[in-house]
Amino acid sequence: MSTLVIVESPTKARTIRNFLPSTYRVEASMGHVRDLPSSAEEIPEAVKGEKWAQLGVNVEADFEPLYVIPKDKKKIVKELKDALKDATELILATDEDREGESISWHLLQILKPKVPIKRMVFHEITREAIRDALTHCRDIDNRVVQAQETRRILDRLVGYTLSPLLWKKIAWGLSAGRVQSVAVRLLVRRERERRAFRQGSYWDLKALLEKGKISFDAKLVTVGNVKVANGSDFDENTGQIISGRRVLLLNEQQARALLSRIQNKPWTVTNLEERPVTRKPSPPFTTSTLQQEANRKLRLGARETMRIAQSLYERGFITYMRTDSVHLSEQAIAAARSCVQELYGSEYLSPQPRKYTTKSKGAQEAHEAIRPAGSTFRTPQQTGLDGIDFRLYDLIWKRTVASQMADSRQTHVTVLTQVEDAGFRSSGKRIDFPGFLRAYVEGSDDPDAALEDQEVILPALKVGDKPNCKDLEAVGHETQPPARYTEASLVKMLESEGVGRPSTYASIIGTIVDRGYAKLIANALIPTFTAFAVTTLLETHFPDLVDTGFTSRMEQTLDEIATGEAKWLPYLQKFYTGETGLATQVKEQESQIDAKVARTVVLENISAKVCIGKFGAYLESEGEEGVVKASIPQDLTPADLDPEQVEFLLKQKTEGPEKLGLHPETGEPIYVLIGSYGPYVQLGDVSETNKKPKRASLPKGTDKDSVTLDMAVSLLTLPRLLGTHPETGAKVQANLGMYGPYVVHDQGKVGKDYRSIKPPDDVLTITLDRALELLSQPKAARGRSKSATPLKELGAHPESGELINVYDGRYGPYVKHGDINASLSKDESVENFTLQRALELLATKEAAGGGKSSSKSKKSTKTAAAKSETATEKTAAKKTTAKKTTTAAKKTTTKKAATATTAKKTTKSS
């Protein structure tokens, strides 16, 4: 007698396998095994002629979904069916949320088991939890499945109905989404507010006072009993004081005159107020609050956070990471309180166990908050984790433990001082008892340092005291526009508005960036011109679909379907096929949408039109000789486009580029231009005999107006040949690339070794000796999320002999061989990833011309770099056949081995 247990991932399977008897066989489905068709080739021949086939949903037959098994899942399905043949019982142990319930249901439909079936659920992977879950199995919850299927169908109807309209009216390849488009609109609205913002300026005085050898700051707040204006008194749309505000607006001259008048006058304490304040700890993490804190503290994106959290969950370190609940079980509360007692003492323990309740109506993804797994919490140091895994677990551990700690007691002190008719305020904060702040302080990774930062100690003062003024200065201020959304603040906004579900926010933000609707710069999400055009079209013609209230009500209905309070079919019929349904709206609006208008972006203070074209955004202006068009650099966002840049780009198009001078050796003119990828210098004119003049990009951060003739001549010498490497005889060069200046040791077929050039070294002056010194140093990781140390070493490539390793990248783990990078799918685990699977991924990527240099996101303006990329792709193409042959041979060997060792068959990631 044997029992087959099916979970989603190999890592989860391996962890659970350790907690079950030997008669249990645990296999992974690798996520969903069935879905709506993602491309035309997946649509079955029998229905390809149907007009609804492209939707993947038969809207004419009660919205029946067309489910198919993707090509990359057919092998997995076969393996699961084979495993089921030997089983006397089937346990579906996918995640406890809607997605997991849906996966179990799909497995049931595909496998059609003839043995008893159980649905096992748990929210942590520990021996105790798994054994307990085995004794409390249930049936599949069909209402939850129906809610998830309705959500999936709804998303498909919105995306596949609106996206083709965007292709016709704006640009090919654009996409719309039920939640995605609302999130993009939030970004665009904030950017519109920033563009409409008018800056205001004001001045005040700042004093450094002293009493009893203790110094403290004081800020001017009144003059003649009239409040002095500060940033909150300004209208963002006018840059002027809000109408009706009775405040004194000081300019520089007035502030300095006041300073001179009170410079050496006596100061007197006129009022002192102490106010006790009690702070309670934040509840344990939910999905959204974890994403927010990880972004603020660890600078992790939402996708990265969820990938790391999922890995921690599957390895048994934390509870399930997709949850809206802040509830803690009695076991968890006891474990947290035990940690507090042992590590901080009984005085830091809350008098009574803290029990948190979830306010959100839709909070039903799982039964507990995200916390350390088990009945006792391992401290971060006891886990054996390191790197970013350790830091995220540490964050979760601290937040959970702090939730059961005593309140923090503080005293806020306000001191008012007077010098003639000028009133100043000083604010202090005294921590009387730190309480939970000993373990967890929001916004800091170092509780001790944060605790010191929390306190602002003022000297012992009383009314009538006369502190000494050690320093007095006039300070100018300018009001700031509304802050752009970060991933953290966007997640917070989406959750507060009830848009989407926290478990989907990571993929939504990833899609927005991947599809070119926003750029992630310095942790801020900045919308692009395309985002402006799409949002304007949807706001004008489909306002409900980008309205947060409407989308929130959709979420409520989906929740009601899950609880049986609403029926799914009438809802879909009303949404899509009713008189005001989406299909009807699109049909009516399509003829009314002028494509030329839809492709035009209207921006304040910009005289020219901004249009969306096949190759990106461009300017269009009526000139004396007709319409003038000029490309907008791809790294330029609507936030950065100003009248001066518009004038320069159009002038460059009509009058030609700005000439710096003549090259001292060739006599050719040297120009400064702005192209699609930013500013660059060019040697000579474009002509029939010189179609591609030599060009060189400006170093990052260099303004085009600061470029001199000498600098341009130097840039045009790049790449600079510094000499030959003493050990290999290969050339060593210095050049500028996408990631800045670098030196490279080029050994031809053996490969290229790169090192970044950092200040004070300069790409134009660096010597061979210094380059050799840099090349001798260990290679640093690029970006915060990558590690120079591989996550896993797989072995040598059968042809080149080079090691193939798995690395941690910004968008998840990837395998690397030479210049080819291939990402692991979201369902593949690093632990079970094999050399064989790596060779398959690399061969597929190489056959598609997917070398690192040819990635769409890596756009270089260097002609030499472009030639290098072409050569790399040609070489890759020649190797593809040989690699496929090798891979095929290895597949045969693997299959033979798998026959002999059936139990190991599904541990190979597919």
Q: Could you count the other beta carbons within 10 Å of the beta carbon of residue 18?
A: 11
Gap between the terminal Cα atoms of the chain: 28
Q: Is 698 exposed, middle or buried (0-12, 13-18, 19+ CB in 10 A)?
A: buried
Contact yes or no for 883/842 (Cβ under 8 A): yes
Query: How many CA atoms are closer than 13 Å to the CA of 742, on its beta-carbon side?
Result: 16
The DSSP symbol for 851 reads B
Angle between helices 287-298 and 502-514 (to 10 degrees): 50
Residues with Cβ within 8 Å of 207's Cβ and at least 6 positions away in sequence, in order, are 217, 218, 219, 220, 267, 424, 469, 471, 472, 473
Token pair of 882, please? 């040989």
Partner residues linked to 806 by β-bridges: 792, 815
CA distances from 162 to 167, 347, 451, 535, 575 (A): 9, 59, 51, 12, 14
Unique residue bearing structure tokens 């031809």? 748
Residues with Cβ within 8 Å of 801's Cβ and at least 6 positions away in sequence, in order, are none
What is residue 866's three-state secondary structure? helix
Instruction: Considering the candidates 24, 202, 313, 320, report the single residue annotated as catalytic.
Output: 320
Strands of the sheet containing 658-662, edge to edge, are 658-662, 669-675, 678-683, 694-697
Query: How many CA atoms are closer than 13 Å to the CA of 713, on its beta-carbon side?
Result: 13
Q: Return the closest-CA partner of residue 377 out of 344, 332, 345, 343.
A: 332
Q: What is the rounded CA–CA span in Å between residue 322 and residue 325?
A: 9
Partner residues linked to 414 by β-bridges: 273, 427
Contact yes or no for 347/308 (Cβ under 8 A): no
Partner residues linked to 472 by β-bridges: 207
Token pair of 745, please? 């040791």
Backbone φ, ψ for residue 682 (5° rounding): -135, 135
Q: What is the rounded CA–CA span in Å between residue 858 and residue 735?
A: 16
Q: What is the rounded CA–CA span in Å between residue 320 and residue 354?
A: 21
Q: What is the rounded CA–CA span in Å between residue 654 and residue 621?
A: 11
The DSSP symbol for 676 reads T
Q: Return the closest-CA partner of residue 324 out of 353, 301, 290.
A: 290
Summarize the chain as % helix, strand, coil (round to 5). Answer: 40, 20, 40
Contact yes or no for 658/675 (Cβ under 8 A): no
Pairing label, strands 408-419, 820-823: unpaired
Q: How many helices (H) and strands (E) does the chain have?
A: 24, 31
Token pair of 137, please? 């199995």
Q: Could you count the other beta carbons within 10 Å of the beta carbon of residue 784?
A: 12
- State which H helix or E strand residue 394 sits in: helix 387-402
Q: What is the rounded CA–CA span in Å between residue 715 and residue 768?
A: 18
Q: Could you count the other beta carbons within 10 Å of the beta carbon of residue 154?
A: 22
Known catalytic residue: 320?
A: yes
Pairing label, strands 3-7, 89-92: parallel
What is residue 253's three-state secondary structure? helix
Backbone φ, ψ for residue 851 (5° rounding): -65, 160
Question: Cα 855–856–859 angle (5° rounding)?
Answer: 95
Strands (E) across 689-750 are located at 694-697, 720-724, 731-737, 740-746
**Which sequence positions are flagged as catalytic?**
320
